[in-house]
Amino acid sequence: MPEPVQHRTADAGLRNIEYEDFRPELTRNLVVDGYNVCRGAGPVMGRDLQPEELVRELARYRKRYGGRVIVIFDASGSLRGISLRQGGGEVRYSKSLKRSDRADDDIKQLVKTLTGTVIVVTSDGRLRESLRSRGVRSVRSNWFLARHLLPKKGSD
């Protein structure tokens, strides 16, 4: 797949992936900023998405498109550093309990270890900019939810 052209938009700033060029079937690794995506569901669903709902929808996504799907949530208490398989994907909780670290740092570390196409789903501007500077592509949470994750009426 050719490298996408970068565009500057009024609301999104520099965007490092053409949304029209996002092909789920060609994405080998999809990394999801868990709570960011759950909170990003408001404009799409009229409410936040519950973590269990996100994991369930990501399992459907993986079944439909394949590839590796990893969702990382900010940890609290005893969940710190926990990783488990669910619905054919991976659910991880951040290793750090520091407010400034959490899932973002785990995502930055994870993408360094992945091979093949990597797309990160997040609307966190600082994380997106950091990933872009490392050559990692990202898409906004609400766009991904509306376009690829949440079931549409009359489909399936």
The distance from CA 90 to its chain's CA centroid, rounded to whole angstroms, is 12
List the Cα angle 135/87/77 in 5-degree steps: 75
Task: Give me the DSSP letters along 31-50.
Answer: EEEHHHHHHHTHHHHSSPPP
Mean pLDDT of 60-68: 90
Q: Are 142 and 40 in contact (CB under 8 A)?
A: yes
Mean pLDDT of 43-55: 88
pLDDT of residue 79: 60
Identify which has the larger pLDDT, 130 or 44: 130
pTM for the full predicted model: 0.78
Q: Are strands 83-86 and 89-93 parallel, antiparallel or unpaired?
A: antiparallel
pLDDT at 36 over 70: yes
The distance from CA 58 to its chain's CA centroid, rounded to whole angstroms, is 10
pLDDT of residue 148: 86
101-116 per-position pLDDT tens digit: 589 999 999 999 999 8
What is the H or E stretch that residue 14 is in?
strand 13-15
132-154 per-position pLDDT tens digit: 999 999 999 988 998 888 755 44
